[in-house]
Chains A and B, each alone.
Chain A
Amino acid sequence: MARCSLCHREGSEGGYCGYHRDAHANLVAAYEAWRKSTELSWNAFLEEVIQTKEVGGWARDVAHDLLSNDQWGNKSSNNFP
């Protein structure tokens, strides 16, 4: 069975385990609210959210992962799903 690229837990689909997938879904949902109230870009949102003490550890992992993938050009520059 494939392992999560962030925590090595078993049972990953599309690179992330269930927890990191949930965290990713929460990032996407929260971005909607951020965009409406602040007009931040996806990447600026991720940068901002990483800095907060409220964000959960797994959500922070995913945000870092999305940003670093972006930096290395693995995904398109706007990797908002």
Chain B
Amino acid sequence: MTERVLVVCEKPTAASRVAQALDDDGAPESFSERGVPYHVARRGKLDLIVVSALGHLFFVAQKGGKWTYPIFDYEWVPSHVADKKMARTRRFVEVIGKLSLGVGGYVSACDYDMEGSLIGYMILRHVCGEESVAKARRMRFSTLTDRDLNHAWDEMSDSLDFPLIEAGRIRHEVDWLFGINLTRALTLAVKNATGFYKVLSVGRVQGPTLNFIKEREVEIQTFVPTPFWLIKAEVRLGRKKFALEHEASRIHSDSKAEKIVAECEGKEGDLKELETARTELPPLPPFSLGDLQREAYYKLRYSPRTTLRAAERLYLGALISYPRTSSQRLPPSIDLRRILEGLREQKGYADFASRLLGKSSLRPWQGKKDDPAHPAIHPTGKKPGRLEKVDARVYDLICRRFMASLERSAVRESTRATVDVNGHVFHLKGSRLVEEGWTEVYGPYFRDNGVVLPALKIGRKIPIRKVEAPRRLTRPPPRLNPGSLLALMEREGIGTKATRSDIIDTMFKRGYVDGREIGVTDLGLTVVESLDRIVPEILSVGMTRKLEEDIEGIRTGETNADAVVEEAIRVLGPALSGFKLNEESIGTAINEALLRASRKGVTLGACPVCETGEIQIITSKQTGKRFAGCTNYFQGSCDASYPLPQKGKIQATGRKCSVCGAPRITVLRRRRRPWDLCINIGCPSKKKENPADGQM
């Protein structure tokens, strides 16, 4: 009689791949019960019942009690019980339960990482019973190709990976404790102080991340620029113009800059020195998830989340290896030649792959970071069918990066000519790639900005055609963008490769941050200020990083899991008491920020005519044009109205005109100075302000 084995996968697509790979004929039978797909694969004397979860089927939830805080009692329950939106998962739990009856063996074939191990464990533990956990074995794989899955089956471990499961369980429990308590504390502060109900969530990792953005915003908003001058000279060599740079990159005084210009104008330069140097540009290592997300943001303008979703689809299609990896390395166990043979059959890669296959040995350029579970992201060599545009571009990026990591270094030749102009030293710089190396295959994602100089000789006289000293201003630090924020989180060791992009996304959804260049909103700022005042440790990178280290310690067996939860409760307890005591002031401050946010972009200031209404931006339904009018107009008590510039973004300044008392606004227009003006067109101050500058 054949023995039946239950194989648990994380997602339906993965389950169908696993079933197909493990079936002796590559043709398992597929079924659907109440919308839940499953497969029966025959392997030797075994019947494999391959079932799938829908990600997590079990969540942490409050154990009884009310919607209040602090809450430290919790339990694991089916996700459809914890969250009504997860109703669909109920059928999965029931169907898996039914299929597991009378089964002789259990295998977890969920994604091989902390989350996957936990998903598999929870299903076995809560659906199939305690004894299934003791019997279960674990498949470990980095790609969903037939080859790797069969190998994973043959090399299966005798038990589940308990330390990894424990680490995952504790991460969920600690994150839940922080998330539920801080969210309720903030939400109830506003509700109890003002009666207004709006869910304000904060998580353990979100706090420090939001704090980074806030600190950068404070630097930007308080920034005052200082001036400096550049000395730019222009020369002609042959038919082309080239720029000479003064040896001092910045001149800090107006008069000094003018003096240099006067002394160099119309003079002849004398080429005194010529230096050339060759530098090697080693290939870039293959992608970790963070590297891939950053590169896709900078080169393709995809958000980290978009890139992760695309990479997951490519993985489920067996086109690339498991994307949630920190590794920048390809271990010797990966058959590079087989992958290249696959890429050789794919459009656009044939020449590059053939050339690499012609090499006697293939050695990938390895990065520093490693991952205990998975290698760097690489293609499997399987030929893709038709891909969505996003997936196709992410796939191309991964394939080219993989091949680039196997290529030779590129070589750049840099030239620096030193030119003396009436006693002032200038440099003429050029560079070019003399050996393309890896940059050829990585071409679409590599830009060489070098200036190619003509042949030069010492002693050459070069007439200076133009010298000028443009004034420049120092700039504030740049805002963080999704790419640089991800890098910062990675550098600071907060969040995990799998969760960082979702954390960034959540801050946008909550209205704490906005913009492609991420700025903190008034609401975000107030939330950070409130937390900083009462529970500063929530914002500290130190505490978050310590927890990440503890969780890693659980995985390696160095840290006791229960102690980590106790520590979290020890930090949260007093912090939450502090919150309760200050509910009134926190709630009022946040509510004010919410009100300001709802009026933001509309309200310009107090009405100078009736003095009780507010002047708001109104768009005319008839003409589509915008103007400013008093809110009391609708009650019929005030008809103050003002025309507004139709172009540019209008910002309230919070200031009144010192001459007529009407609100002053700032108009931001592309490539033009911000225009600060009083909205009253008849204001005497207008004489100075040049209204012709913008179209009213």
Interface residues of A (CB under 8 A from B): 6-7, 10, 19, 22-23, 26-27, 29-30, 33-34, 36-39, 49-61, 64-65, 68, 71-72
A56 in contact with B476 given A19-B221, A22-B222, A72-B658 (CB within 8 Å): yes
Pairwise interchain contact A30-B252, C-beta atoms closer than 8 A: no
Q: How far is the CB of A60 from chain B (nearest CB, A)?
A: 8
B658:A55 contact, CB within 8 angstroms: no
The verdict on B224 contacting chain A, using a C-beta distance below 8 Å, is: yes
User: Are A38 and B224 interface neighbours, CB within 8 A?
Assistant: no
Cβ B225 vs Cβ A61 within 8 A = no
Measured CB to CB, the nearest residue on chain A to B472 is A54
| Across-interface contacts of B658 in A (CB, < 8 A) | 68, 71-72
The digit string for B317-342, where 1 denotes a CB below 8 A from any CB of A, is: 00000000000000000000000000
Q: How far is the CB of A63 from chain B (nearest CB, A)?
A: 8
* B residues in contact with A33, CB < 8 Å: 226-227, 252
Interface residues on B, range: 20 to 34
Write 12 A-B pairs (CB below 8 A) sorted by A numbering. A19-B218, A23-B222, A37-B226, A37-B254, A38-B227, A49-B225, A53-B674, A54-B225, A54-B475, A64-B653, A64-B664, A72-B658
Interface of A is mostly: helix
Do B222 and A64 have beta carbons less than 8 Å apart? no
Q: How far is the CB of A72 from chain B (nearest CB, A)?
A: 6
- 8 A Cβ contacts from B208-230 to A: 218-228
Say yes or no: A6 contacts B673, CB within 8 Å: no
Whole-angstrom CA separation of A71 from B688 in the bound complex: 15
Q: DSSP majority for the B interface? A: mixed
In the complex, whether B589 has a CB less than 8 A from a CB of chain A is: yes
Contact residues in A for B266 (Cβ distance below 8 Å): none
In the bound assembly, the distance between CA atoms of A61 and B664 in angstroms comes to 11
Q: How far is the CA of A34 from the CA of B241 in the complex (A)?
A: 34
Cα–Cα, bound, A50→B226 (Å): 12
In the complex, what's the smallest C-beta–C-beta distance from B180 to chain A, in angstroms? 28
- Least CB distance from A24 to B in Å reads 9
Report yes or no: B225 in contact with A30, Cβ–Cβ below 8 A. yes
Cross-chain contact A68 with B655 (CB below 8 angstroms) = yes
CB pair A26–B224 under 8 Å, yes or no, is yes
In the complex formed, the residue of A with least CB distance to B526 is A9
Let me know if B637 is at the binding interface, CB within 8 A: no
Across the interface, name the chain B residue whose C-beta is closest to A68: B658
Q: How many Å from the CB of B16 to the closest CB on chain A?
A: 54
One of A27, A49, A50, A59 near B221 (C-beta < 8 A)? A59
Say if the beta carbon of B195 comes within 8 Å of chain A: no
CA separation between A56 and B68, bound complex, in Å?
Answer: 40
Q: Is B635 an interface residue (CB 8 A)?
A: no
Contact B589 A10 (CB under 8 A): yes
Q: Are B222 and A19 in contact (CB under 8 A)?
A: yes
Residues of B within 8 A of A26 (CB): 222-224
A54 contacts B218, C-beta separation under 8 Å: no
Give A68 to B666 CA distance when docked, in angstroms. Answer: 16
Across-interface contacts of B476 in A (CB, < 8 A): 54, 56
Task: Give the Cβ gap from A45 to chain B, nearest Cβ, in Å.
Answer: 9
Residues of A within 8 A of B221 (CB): 19, 23, 56-59
Give A25's nearest chain B residue, CB to CB: B222
**B474 touches A (CB below 8 Å):** yes
Which residues of A have CB within 8 Å of B226?
30, 33-34, 37
The docked-state distance in angstroms from the alpha carbon of A54 to that of B225 is: 6
Contact A58 B473 (CB under 8 A): no
Residue numbers in A under 8 Å from B474 (CB-CB): 54
> Residue B515 at the A interface, CB < 8 A?
no
Which residue of chain A has its CB nearest to the CB of B227?
A: A37
- How far does the Cβ of A81 sit from chain B's closest Cβ, in whole Å? 14
Interface: B253 (CB within 8 A)? yes
Task: Give Cα A30 to B225, complex, Å.
Answer: 7
- Assess whether B655 is in contact with A64, with CB atoms less than 8 Å apart: yes
The reply to whether B676 and A34 form a contact with Cβ atoms under 8 Å apart is no
Asked whether A55 and B224 contact (CB < 8 A) given A50-B676, A71-B658, the answer is: yes
Question: What CA separation (Å) do A29 and B224 show in the bound complex?
Answer: 9
Asked whether B654 is an interface residue with its Cβ less than 8 Å from the other chain, the reply is: yes
Q: Which residue of A lies closest to B657 (CB)?
A: A68
Q: How far is the CB of B590 from chain A (nearest CB, A)?
A: 12
- The CA of A55 and the CA of B589, in the complex, are separated in Å by 27
With A23-B224, A49-B224, A58-B222 in contact, do A37 and B253 touch (Cβ < 8 Å)? yes
